[in-house]
Structure 1
Amino acid sequence: MPKPLRLAVALAALGLAGAAQAGTLHVAAAASMTDAMNEAIETYTAEHDDVDIVPVYASSSTLARQIASGSPAEVYVSANQKWMDWLEDEGVNVEQRVDLLQNRLALVAPANEAGGDFTPGESGKLAGLLDDGERLAVGDPDHVPAGIYARQAFEALGEWDALAPRLARASDVRSALALVERGETPAGVVYQTDARASDGVTTLGLFPLATHDAIVYPAAVIDAEDSDEASAFRAWLEGDEAVGIFEGYGFASALDR
């Protein structure tokens, strides 16, 4: 191959590599969104073949700390307001923020065990569901949003002091769900969307809304206000197509809240 042609091919290859890199979008989303966000991303990329979306799922607190430490994320969706606020307080550039979704807090038990309806606050004490030595699975109330909401509910129901030493504290809500699925705990507190996504648990009841803060998922563009890909995907998330996908997994829109 003549030298000028080799140079042209090399420059073209570099240009393609740069374009591919520019079209990669990192989306950090709360673990409770895994199934719904995967479908949303699949739908979006089928319609936008010029962007490659790489999702990362974990506790909202873990994701926020990773972003603040420099981990790539052009779009962040948190399971509560606290960790989005925290990023702003840390000086991270949070743009185009919107309250995207709502969720409910559910009490679940292993699917293969008999259990009737149990509405927390109405059907008796949660501690009464636990035998000696048994624990209740929750996301860690010290930092996991689902666990923070759970603690608020326990306190509102007057059960925090009794339940605190009997909690199986998980690193995120999906880990708490797994403890119940495997029968390692007789019950757990997760989001209703997690319960719906699992064949391994049954929902005993939902926590009354008045027992905890509203479960709202804010979404934002992170340090990428000049990224057309990030802005376009964030905007798409609040559109009818994306909201319809999320509602199919049990989320409710927060856009009219």
Structure 2
Amino acid sequence: MRSTRASIGKAAKTFLFGLLLSGFALVGGASAQTRDVVVFAAASLKNALDDAGAAWMRETGKRVTVSYAASNALAKQIEAGAPADLFFSADLDWMDSLASKGLIRPESRVSLLGNALVLVAAKGSTMQVALQPGIDLAAILGNDRLAMGHVDAVPAGKYGKAALEHLGAWAGVKDKVAQADNVRAALLLVSRGEAPLGIVYRTDAVSDPNVSIIATFPNESHPPIVYPVALTKDSSNPDAVAFLAFLRSDKSRPFFDKQGFTFVGKATSGS
């Protein structure tokens, strides 16, 4: 009898343990299916991408979590194993860097957006600058600083340096540059009055009411500004595929148009 009771008790415990494991599996599965889509995106995308993510959530009930920083910093985080589903870069170089290491899904990659490079000053500034070859930007700055992203890593800083070299102004201003961690940080230096001039994207200037665009760099003065986006190799979130499709669709276009981006990739009609 004791043996029979012990066997029944053992069987009951085994059954209960199995139920607990099944419960954990169900909970874990639900979490995996409903977890946020994690996007690593260039800082200059913030306003437009926040709006696009909110629209997608209203449509699908799914959430997007975005980490904004300079593209170089985000690429290095992904390389170090950070769990991102999508990488949305402000230039081709950092996407190429991840691609060369096999860290994105090449079939998902698309060059989606374009931008323009501008010179900004604080709102109400009377400074006038003609961005043409031979410009003496150093004389215009005097003892002040020029705000830019880091010129050797941050895409906006790299574009800015290339443009100044093209115009023959880099040698004169290179020791006057206040280098920031990302383009939004450079914008903030001008917005707060800590630098009289800054080089940012047109879309950044549009986002800040405390700055004005005083000149636009000629397109031929720097490499084309292209924003590629791709799924990361390790992403297993099916919602990330759906959100990428949404970003490529005409449903997301108004949010990027509003901020001054141009579409270089063909929008699709689906979501």
TM-score, normalised to structure 1, is: 0.90
Corresponding residue number in structure 2 for 1:41: 53
CA distance, structure 1, for counterparts of residue 158 and residue 179 of structure 2: 11
Corresponding residue number in structure 2 for 1:145: 155
CA distance, structure 2, for counterparts of residue 226 and residue 81 of structure 1: 24
Letter in 2 for 1:201: V
SS in 1 for 2:254: helix
CA distance, structure 2, for counterparts of residue 55 and residue 80 of structure 1: 18
Corresponding residue number in structure 1 for 2:269: none
Q: Which residue of 212, 234, 238 maps to 2:244?
A: 234
Corresponding residue number in structure 2 for 1:69: 80
- CA RMSD in angstroms, aligned pairs only: 2.4
User: Per-residue CA shift, 1:41-72, capped at 9, x if unaligned?
Assistant: 000011111x3321100000000000010001
1:213 equivalent to 2:223? Answer yes
User: Shift of the alpha carbon at 1:21?
Assistant: 3.2
Corresponding residue number in structure 2 for 1:198: 208
Corresponding residue number in structure 2 for 1:223: 233
Q: How many residues align?
A: 253
Corresponding residue number in structure 2 for 1:92: 103
1:173 equivalent to 2:186? Answer no
Corresponding residue number in structure 2 for 1:30: 42
Query: Would you say the 8 A contact 2:103–2:234 is kept in 1?
Result: no
Letter in 1 for 2:114: Q
Relative distance call for 1:46 and 1:123 in structure 2 (3 A) is: farther
CA distance, structure 1, for counterparts of residue 60 and residue 94 of structure 2: 30
CA distance, structure 2, for counterparts of residue 254 and residue 212 of structure 1: 17
SS in 2 for 1:79: coil
User: Per-residue CA shift, 1:92-129, capped at 9, x if unaligned?
Assistant: 13331001000000100011x43255341179432232
User: Per-residue CA shift, 1:175-224, capped at 9, x if unaligned?
Assistant: 00010011000000000000000011111011000100110000101115
Letter in 1 for 2:152: D
Q: Which residue of 120, 129, 132 maps to 1:108?
A: 120
Rg larger for: 2
Letter in 2 for 1:52: R
Letter in 1 for 2:240: A
Structure 2: 5+ residue stretches without partners: 1-12, 267-271
User: Shift of the alpha carbon at 1:88?
Assistant: 1.3
CA distance, structure 1, for counterparts of residue 33 and residue 73 of structure 2: 25
Letter in 1 for 2:63: D
Query: Would you say the 8 A contact 2:203–2:260 is kept in 1?
Result: yes
Corresponding residue number in structure 1 for 2:169: 159
TM-score, normalised to structure 2, is: 0.86
CA distance, structure 2, for counterparts of residue 244 and residue 12 of structure 1: 43
Percentage of identical aligned residues: 37
CA distance, structure 1, for counterparts of residue 82 and residue 130 of structure 2: 40
User: Per-residue CA shift, 1:131-170, capped at 9, x if unaligned?
Assistant: 22x1100000110000000011011001111111110000
SS in 2 for 1:143: coil
Corresponding residue number in structure 1 for 2:9: none
Corresponding residue number in structure 1 for 2:7: none
Letter in 1 for 2:132: G
Structure 1: 5+ residue stretches without partners: none
Q: Which residue of 236, 240, 264 maps to 1:254?
A: 264
CA distance, structure 2, for counterparts of residue 22 and residue 160 of structure 1: 51
Structure with higher strand content: 1
1:55 equivalent to 2:99? Answer no
